Amino acid sequence: MQRTLLALGLLLAIPALAHAQIPPEVARKVADLQSSDADTRYKAALALGKMGKDAELAVPAMVRALKDDNAKVRSGLLFALGQLGPIAKKAAPDIALSLKDKSAEVRIVAVQALAELDTALSSLRAERDKVRALADTYLPKARQARDTVEFAYRRGGVSLLDFLDAERSYRATQLGYRQAIAAHLLASEQVRQAVGTRSLQ
């Protein structure tokens, strides 16, 4: 009975997917999720996980398929949703329900999927915070220290080595800031690619 209801739900989803102009290959894999053969359903789930942005409209069907009576298929769907990353972010509550699955393997994959969903966005937030800290705190302090030592050096208050050390510290902080900007841009681009927005040229 559960298998019949699941197949019906996925079948009803297919016309909606076609109306949304979903890529044909994605629509075929969504249709395969209702196959009577568990291996076909499992392979369809894994294939969807590799389709990136194209599979975005298939996420609701993948979530419905998490009720599959086969643990291997459920694990495949969770793994695929994790691969989709931020695209499948809205599926997080449904993935979380799988943490209580009767299968230990499914529960493990659910944990991994939730981690994958958050990785790209967490990386972006971390790099953004690093850029802000360097720009707002560390770089100004290093610049002020360098300027103070330079002022003292020109008046004979400190040695050349002291001035060179302050200059070296400032340049190291400046380099760290530029590297943080580059890392932030890279993390931002990874999120853009995941959700299918315009890439850097």
- Which of 85, 116, 147 delimits the end of a domain? 116
**Residue 200 placed within a domain:** no
Domain count along the chain: 2
Which has more confidence, 90 or 8?
A: 90
Question: Could you tell me the residue range of the domain that residue 16 belongs to?
Answer: 2-116
pLDDT in tens, 26-81: 999 999 999 999 999 999 999 999 998 889 999 999 999 999 999 999 999 999 99
Q: Are residues 90 and 126 in the same domain?
A: no
Tokens 């969770």, residue? Answer: 78
Domain boundary (86, 116, 146) is at 116
Per the CB < 8 A criterion, the answer to whether 110 and 96 are in contact is yes
Question: For the residues 148-167, what does the mean pLDDT come to?
Answer: 93
Question: What's the mean pLDDT when you consider all of the chain?
Answer: 84
Which of 19-33, 97-111, 175-189 is the most confident on average? 97-111
Percent of the chain topping pLDDT 70: 83
What pLDDT was estimated at residue 117? 75
pTM of the model: 0.56
| pLDDT of res. 121 | 67
pLDDT cut 90: percent of the chain above it = 61
Residues 134 and 109 reside in one and the same domain: no
CB 57 within 8 A of CB 89: no
Task: Please identify, among 67, 97, 116, the residue that sits at the C-terminal boundary of a domain.
Answer: 116
Q: What's the whole-number mean pLDDT along residues 170-197?
A: 78
**Confidence (pLDDT) at 142:** 93
Q: In one letter, which amino acid is 5?
A: L
